[in-house]
Amino acid sequence: MRFREENTSVLRKCIQVWFVRRNIDNFPFNSYGDDGRSQLPHVHRILKEYDEVVLEASLPTTVCREVCSTLLAASRFSTTAWKRTAIERAKRILATDTDCYLHAWAAHRESALLRMLGEIDNSNQALIMFVHSTVFPGHDKGLEANSSWNAQRGDLVISYAENLAQQNDLIRAKQELLGWKPIDPTDPSTMERLVLRSRNINLGKMLRYEGRFQDALSYLEDLLHESELDGLYEGTGWGRTLLSNVADLLIELDRPGDAEALLMPELTRMASRGCHNVSSGRRLQLALIEGFMKRGMYDRAEENLLKLQRVYEAIADPDTLPKKGIFRVWTSLARISHSRSDWNKAISGWQQALEALDVPEWQKGFNAGLVRYSLAYALFMIGSVQESSEVLKVARMNLESEGRKFWIVGFNSYWHDFIIERITTTGL
């Protein structure tokens, strides 16, 4: 008994140290700013202690839940392999636990990971399995008035809406997002506020995806102004998601200088802390580079693209986010060569972009068609008319199969219009 008490005490102390070091009141719902990755060694120490203790004795439910919460929180960081491990270990701990909140959180994290891996159907299945399980809140009506539970339910709704958006069902995605609200909209809890910011940013993104750039900018700029007074946004992934989306919209609306002014303070701050190449930092850099290209600053854009290319290519076991990032790098490099009339280099770039389309929903759809349209024009310009015609035939089928999209700033909007007009002038 003494062994169990001493080791349980050690494990609990580890977890307490982790929570204190984070200095966060609502640890599970915070995105940890820039420091989450640096805390992973503490998670591994907790798991080491946990594994040693459970070999000798069972642990109190409260301790197991603390370990599970730590795993789910830490599953946002590091490699895909670690994220899978953390989620699977959390699910094993929960196999004999009926805590609705933790089961919902595990379903949300698994759904998010599967979506990042491009497995949209499996991501939806993770949510459906939770909804139909015996721990669904309908079996405990008392949870319906619990703000923590409502916040977690909101995360599940957002995950489902993001899947719908990936499947091009923006109408249903918006309906799902608008269907979730804080229990008391006039006084949401801290956790509900965190989910509310995520929901509202996603609503703004849906407007952008529809090509409603001015409406989206007005909506997201209001959120941006609110965030300046809200510490829950500072130094977080969601804060940077908001910045990058506003910057994209400024560029779409021919205000690249304003986009740069918005992005540079956060990028400078991140660079000073050595975290500018994390996922949210890469996203800000891509927006900055698009602004350079919009202003014809091709040398500066190319220099930054080559740096970012090396960062992306160094990522081991990439999920869809870095895969989409490297696709954007190649299309941007190809556009620069295209704009310089460096046709052979442009052809190479467009071909590399096609090879980078390692995302299932992009391989034969709108983006693939747009790359092929661009490639066809470059081939035409070097006199390869027959090959150009063959590539263009496939490009047209790609675009017709999916219709117009506004997923990627610049490339899906003004570059699309430019290259379609150029192809028209060839008579192909």
What does 166-198 look like in DSSP terms, one character per residue? Answer: HTT-HHHHHHHHHT---SSTTS--HHHHHHHHH
pLDDT value of residue 69: 84
Cβ distance 396 to 369 under 8 Å? yes
Each residue's pLDDT expressed in tens, for the chain with a length of 428 residues: 344 455 556 555 555 544 433 433 333 344 444 555 666 676 777 777 777 776 656 777 887 888 888 888 888 877 788 888 889 988 988 888 878 888 888 888 998 888 888 888 888 888 876 655 544 444 455 666 678 888 888 888 898 899 898 888 899 999 999 989 999 999 999 889 888 988 999 999 999 999 999 999 999 999 998 877 766 655 567 788 999 999 999 999 999 999 999 999 999 999 998 889 988 999 999 999 999 999 999 999 999 999 999 999 999 888 888 999 999 999 999 999 999 999 999 999 999 999 998 766 678 889 999 999 999 999 999 999 999 999 999 999 999 988 788 999 999 999 999 999 999 988 88
pLDDT value of residue 339: 95
State how far the Cα of 64 lies from the Cα of 249, in Å rounded to an integer: 45
pLDDT value of residue 37: 60
CA angle 323, 324, 325 (to 5 degrees): 90
Task: Find the DSSP H helices in 167-297.
Answer: 170-178, 190-209, 213-227, 237-252, 256-272, 279-294
Q: With the C-alpha atoms ordered 379, 381, 384, 388, is the resulting torsion angle positive or negative?
A: positive
pLDDT value of residue 13: 55
pTM of the model: 0.82
